[in-house]
Structures are given as C-alpha cells and as structure tokens.
Amino acid sequence: LLSPGTLAPCDAEALLRRARRLLDGLAAPAPLLLLREPALGDRELLALARVLAPVLRACEGALALHDRVHLVEAAGAGAVHLG
C-alpha cells in the first residue's frame, strides 16, 4: 500500500481512516504501508506515523517511511525507503 503523496496536514486523519478500513477488510496479514507524504513536515508526518505503526503491527503489517531516515525510530516504523 502507498499513501497518496499529496496530503495536506488536515488530510492525515482521512488517510488514517482509509487505512483502518483497508486493514479491517484484509483476511491475510497486512502488507507494508509506505508513508510517502513530501508535503507534510516532520512533525505532521511523525504524528501520523505514530498512529499508523501500531495499527499496522496489530495486523501483522509494517510501516515504512519514505526519505525520512531520521524519523524511523521515533515513529515506530519498521523500514525506510530511500530515493
């Protein structure tokens, strides 16, 4: 799964709702969700990631951050995608 890449800070809650609906509908373990939101600042992205990471872990999935190596540990993400 890939976040849309066009979120404004006010859209982060909408992404969370959408992700929960998707995860609730999966019979198998959740896939990796790549959080790629270049328009969000570090603070907004970290807040969103801190909510998404445990939701994904509960579904046996994982969260990856795009180009935010410095936030991976604080976010509870399992991976980072560079490039």
Q: Tell me: the pLDDT tens digits for 52-76?
A: 898 888 878 889 999 999 999 999 9
Mean pLDDT (whole number) for 7-28 = 70
Can you name the residues that pair with 79 across neighbouring β-strands? 64
What is the Cα 46 distance to its own chain's centre? 9
User: Is pLDDT of 25 > 90?
Assistant: no
Can you name the residues that pair with 63 across neighbouring β-strands? 33
Q: How wide is the angle at C-alpha 83 spanned by C-alphas 69 and 8, nearest 5°?
A: 70
pTM: 0.76
